[in-house]
Structure 1
Amino acid sequence: MTTHTQNTQTAPTAPAATVLVTSATGKTGRRVAERLAARGATVRAGSRTGATPFDWEAPETWAPALRGADAAYVAYYPDLAAPGAVEAMETFGRLAVENGVGRLTLLSGRGEPEAVQAEESLRAAASGAELTVVRASFFAQNFSEGLLAEGVAEGAVVFPAGDTAEPFIDADDLADVVVETLTADGHAGRVHEVTGPRPVAFAEVAAEISRASGRPVAYLPVSEADYAAMLAGFGLSAPEAEWLAALFATLLDGHNASATDGVKRILGREPRSFAAFASETWGGPAA
């Protein structure tokens, strides 16, 4: 039986440290905010409509959210590989230092060359602060609360991944890693790559979801062009649909089909498997 245990370390870097969490209503942001609050930090949950207004598309909201914060979790939307991310990171980093933020943890994508450019932009602009980069693999939660959840509910995972395997990271594990980098010393200047315990092909993902949920879910591989057309049919603009389809096809071309020991090295425990995630999420017997 595979179980999932959370990191039990509880001491923040300093009492009542104030941490800005950007994209705080997202998959990772809300998990990071919850864990920071549990450790005694004062959390500024930055979002478009929350108590701490923060919008990546409204740079005028960044400085007020950063002012007086000790640290920040930087989760850029829509993706660090997106057009405009390099410039956004340069501005955000400068504002963070100007407003006295001493520690930053940046969420980045594993195996994304464009994202590395954005990382470097933030590193240069925020040279007066401690920066840790956490590069994550594809989230397991994309199948339950994200991009692919609707398809799973309808019985089909349609994606341009071919037969490539991906070491899916559980967002809870990622959040534990992020919180550790924000609240413990020794991570400044580091780049951590975090994944699940082993690569899993999308056909196996569908099989695990089927087993856990008790209903059939199939994986239907499609081409990049067909996936872009499907996204456009859901209402995305053609450029956005084409960019997103190209990003997924690039990330899932096989170059990321290996696991790292990042979670174990940072947290001292193994990451949760996709089978265990599926069992807990869809209510099947424990794996």
Structure 2
Amino acid sequence: MNRTLLITGATGTVSGALIDALDDSGFRLRALLRDPSKAETLRARGVETFIGDLDDPRSLPPAFEGVHDLWMLTPNGPRACENNMNAIWAARQANIERVVRLSAVHAAHDAPTRSGRLHALSDHEVERSGLGWTILRPHWFMQNLLNEADDIATEGTFRLNTADGRLGMVDARDIAELAAKVLTDGPNLHHARIYTPTGPRSIGFAEVAEQFERVLGTPIRYVPTTDDEREARLLGFGVPAWIVGMLTEYAQAYACGWGDFTTTDVEDVTGRRPRSVADFARDHADAFTAKGPRAA
């Protein structure tokens, strides 16, 4: 394959998994990075690196020159639409043929989350850009559970403000493998398609705890918490207030059943069933396992 793929958000969860999934694909991989200190790790994986920032459109042309395909991932935040706009403008100026964009679950102009509404605006821009396009709107990432790994390992509990909501949560590796298949299938097969990657079934967090308990062989308990308690905890960890508010909006929507669905998109595109929560727990068991005696 004689094509160059530019990857934005290259050090993030999904983009990192995408680089793995494209190993031996024949793509010439190029990454756009804000932080020069992260370039060497990517270069060691055979990825060409360019320093630029989606906040600064003047920094983008060198990275976009000579690119055929763009993997578009914008940071979550109030400037997400501006970041997308800058990238799409640079892509058009560079005559890029196709963009595969990572959006958000249920992105829509009437979504109950600010992230979903912002993503809807950017999705619309991509659709009207004149480029070839495919959009992925994945469900809640199983990798989000890694944020609770310390509590699970040390206390055997984790606390979220999603009540008894059920989610068709998906492993980020399955999102990446779907994206890799879209990219390697060529620029036309998946044009104007919107995929919603999910896991194999919808599951509540009490059952997530049960699955982890079976895999890890130690008691695990899910403890529902309030929005205020969760927000105070996140703010205490230094999470920006805008992100904390966005996460509360998602949690409230999930608690009301907004995420209780699945699709067959992963299997339809990749030919393989998506990973289950138990699969995820087995593959990441070390992260959730206490390194010493568990506190009483």
TM bin (shorter chain): 0.7 to 0.9
Cα 1:271–1:240 change in 2 (3 A) is closer
What is the alpha-carbon distance in structure 2 between the residues aligned to residue 16 and residue 92 of structure 1?
A: 22
User: Which of 99, 104, 110 is matched with 1:109 structurally?
Assistant: 104
Give the corresponding residue for 1:150: 150
1:256 equivalent to 2:256? Answer no
**Structure 1: distance between partners of 2:202 and 2:161:** 17
Distance between the aligned counterparts of 2:239 and 2:264, measured in 1?
A: 36
Q: Is the 8 A contact 2:57 2:90 kept in 1?
A: no
**Distance (whole Å) between structure 2 residues aligned to residue 225 and residue 112 of structure 1:** 25
Map 1:192-271 → 2, pairs under 5 A? 192-271=195-274
Deviation at 1:41, TM superposition (A): 0.7
Q: State the TM-score, normalized to the length of structure 1.
A: 0.84
Equivalent in the alignment of 1:275: 278
The CA distance in 2 between the partners of 1:168 and 1:237, in whole Å, is 24
Equivalent residue for 1:122, pick from 90, 102, 126: 126
What is the aligned partner in structure 1 of residue 70 from structure 2? 72
Tell me by how many angstroms 1:239 deviates: 4.0
Instruction: Check 1:280–1:213 CA distance in 2 against 1; reply closer, same or farther (3 A cut).
Output: same
**Residue 134 of structure 1, aligned match among 133, 136, 142:** 136
Q: Give me the whole-angstrom Cα distance separating, in 2, the residues matched to 1:250 and 1:65.
A: 38
Distance 1:213 1:62 in 2: 45
Check conservation: 2:55, 2:86, Cα contact below 8 A. Answer: no
- What is the distance in 1 between the residues matched to 2:241 and 2:270? 41
- Partners of 2:22 and 2:199 lie apart in 1 by 22
Letter aligned with residue 69 of structure 1: V
Cα contact 1:70–1:102 (8 A) shared by 2: yes
Match of residue 85 from structure 2: 90
Aligned residues: 262
- In 2, distance between residues paired with 1:240 and 1:109? 14
Q: Which residue number corresponds to residue 7 of structure 2?
A: 21
Whole-Å separation in 2 of the counterparts to 1:54 and 1:201: 40
Distance 2:120 2:126 in 1: 10
Q: Which amino acid aligns with 2:153?
A: A
User: In structure 1, how many angstroms separate the alpha carbons of the residues matched to 2:191 and 2:255?
Assistant: 29
CA shift for structure 1 position 157: 1.9
Query: Measured at CA, do residues 97 and 148 of structure 1 come closer, stay the same or move farther in structure 2, by a change above 3 Å?
Result: farther
Secondary structure of 1:204's counterpart equals helix
Check 1:61–1:150 CA distance in 2 against 1; reply closer, same or farther (3 A cut): farther
Task: Output one character per residue of 1:18-60: Cα deviation in whole Å (capped at 9) or x when no partner.
Answer: 1011111111101112222321111012222323224344444
Quote the offset at 1:226 in angstroms: 2.2
Q: 2:162 and 2:142 mapped to 1: Cα distance?
A: 15
> Which amino acid is 1:47 matched to?
L
- Could you tell me how far apart the structure 2 residues matched to 1:221 and 1:199 are? 18
Question: How far apart, CA to CA, are the structure 2 residues paired with 1:93 and 1:251?
Answer: 31
Partners of 1:240 and 1:33 lie apart in 2 by: 26
1:139 positional shift: 1.1
CA contact (8 A) 1:22 1:54 kept: no
Q: Provide the secondary structure at the position in 1 that maps to 2:137.
A: strand
SS of the counterpart of 1:33? helix
1:122 Cα offset (Å): 2.8
Q: What secondary structure does 1:45 align onto?
A: strand
